[in-house]
Amino acid sequence: MRFALGILVVFSVAVREFLGQETIAVTTTIGEVIGKAEIVSSFEKTGKLHKFLGIPFAEPPVGDLRFKKPVPKLSLTTTLDAFAYNNACVQAYQFPNVSYAEDCLYLNIYAPERKNETDKLSVMIWIYGGGFHFGDSNMYLADYLSIHGDVIVVTFNYRVSVFGFLSTGDSASPGNYGLWDQQLAIKWVHDNIAAFGGDTEKVTIFGESAGSASVIYQGLYTGNKNLFQRILAESGSIMVWWASTDEGLRYAKTVGMVANCEMESTHALVLCLRNLPADILLNIISSIPESDDFASFPFRPTFDDDFITFDPKKVFYSNNFHSRDVVQFFSDFDFLTGVNILEGVEGLTPMFGVTDYINFAPNRTEFERKLVPLLIKEGYGEDAPTVLSKLISTEYTNWTDPNSLDNVRDEYLRMHGDFQFNADMYKTLDTHSDQSSTKNTYMYMLDIEPETRAAIEQVPWIKKAAHGEELPLVFGYRFSFGEHLLSPKDWEIKLSTKVMTLWANFAKTGNPNYPDDLGINWSQYTSDDQFYLHMTRNMTSENVRQRWNIGAANFWLDIVPSIAQMKTCETNYPGGINSAESPSPCVMFSLLSVCLYTALATLF
């Protein structure tokens, strides 16, 4: 019998034996699914875990379904043995021992065995990062988080790169297919998780980097009403350059030109690209040089007036009345977000002028004349006023020894961390806390020197927690790149148990301090007090602090935009800051605003 999504169905759970392995049968909206039961011992707790791997939540997005919204999975014709991970979504960079295909819309469920069948467990739905171009759910093994936190964890795949975000800016290919994949997976969980013991009134979506931006996008999409109650965003908002693009049509035409596709119309272009083999399409994208105005991460979320009905870069500004409804919707979720101390490692890429990050040691001249302008180009365009480069270079100079190569490198990382992650985090936090009268807002900052590292152990000069290095803590070091698992030190294990407890607490109650009290007393964030949890090796209530790095955040949120808008002034009013003529009234007003703000910031 085929069940329609959203219609009440009667679920059943049965325990069976299959080749000596205890199995569990669950009836879902697509049919019967059989998982396996395993005894899992996390660092502190042992329990029986029901694992269901490789469950399809959508029809394969292939053929005519490429570059289209996902189609809900039809009823299964036979019972599904959900014993193994299924395909990851096709992408340019691939890990060994992982199967990649366009047929990739599958999810995995990790459900602790309940003491009582009437118990309902809180649910955490994970969305992976990867710049919207890479990533898969299978590398995040949720066994430990599920058992330690006594929560159901769901991971799933969504389309990335050209397959997930090709946009022509019109009906031919509106884009955002990866976001629609996420939304369909979330809805599938809402419609089915009760059968696995989940509580549909206690669902948290959480993610990292592009996954962090994704959970915020999902929190701004009003079509998600009643599907989840909490949002946990690790290292990423949606206002930064990498979280959206308005250049989708240009990127699509560039790919079409290299592919020799007919571009008389956008519909003809998309039809041609739809008919290309996936590997050929990926090879074309990889072969286009960045010098051809083809960005390192060209395919990203974009305004489609459907999923995204607002300008992502301006959505959290109070004077943006076009986004008031979605911001109010977002404020009705409990919200926890934070960053790592060294997020700026994301600036160690060729697009920002770094071709050898292991031996990266720029001098002050290279920093001022090459590295800062490249950042400004990506964030504010090629025609940004020259004074902006001077301003940023001055802000990110260690004046105790400005010519020290180590100091220049450290300031470069600090600059990129603030530019790409930290400032926009504060804007998101302030908006949520100011708009929410009944929901909770929390902030953290991870400040450790990891000894067990997943990706950057080969860079000896990177000591502190870099982008993504909270992930092993969140998943109990059950984190794999398709190869071996990690082997943490004792102090890392202890910290991981605390992080998993805090995350699970938040999923259960919206308050990371409860029900399992760690004695930390993590205070809520408000725009006035700006409390945050300074996450270190040994955490106590003294780790709850205020106003981390707030001066730099204000620099990027208030001063830099005031200077950047001078290019608009100069276009409308000749005699700009780069001109030999006297500055226009518009430019003078911008300069006056910056000077006044700087003076006030110095006083207070």
| Catalytically active residues, by annotation | 209
Residues contacting residue 135 through CB under 8 Å, at least 6 positions apart:
91, 128, 129, 160, 210, 211
String of DSSP letters for 109-132? EEEEPPSSTT--EEEEEEE--STT
Angle at 472 between CA 469 and CA 475, to 5 degrees: 140
Q: Secondary structure of 501-559 in the HEC alphabet?
A: HHHHHHHHHCCCCCCCCCCCCCCCCCCCCCEEEEECCCCCHHHEEECCCHHHHHHHHHH
- Only one residue has tokens 């707790």, namely 45
Which one-letter DSSP state was computed for residue 471? Answer: H
The pair of structure tokens assigned to 72 is 């809900």
Amino acid at 15: V
Amino acid at 282: L
Conformation bin of residue 419: beta by default, left when phi > 0, alpha when psi is -120 to 50: alpha
514-519 — which CB contacts under 8 Å span 24+ positions?
none
The pair of structure tokens assigned to 37 is 């039961």
Cα 336 from Cα 348, distance rounded (Å)? 27
- Only one residue has tokens 């919204």, namely 69
307-313 — which CB contacts under 8 Å span 24+ positions?
307/176, 307/179, 307/180, 307/183, 307/217, 307/221, 307/223, 308/176, 308/179, 308/217, 308/220, 308/221, 308/244, 310/220, 312/217, 312/238, 312/239, 312/243, 312/244, 313/239, 313/244
Residues contacting residue 571 through CB under 8 Å, at least 6 positions apart:
none
Going along 196-272, which residue ranges are E strands? 198-208, 230-234
> Which residue in 209, 231, 232 sits closest to 466, CA to CA?
209
| Residue 341 C-alpha from the chain's centroid | 17
Pairing of strands 334-340, 441-446: parallel
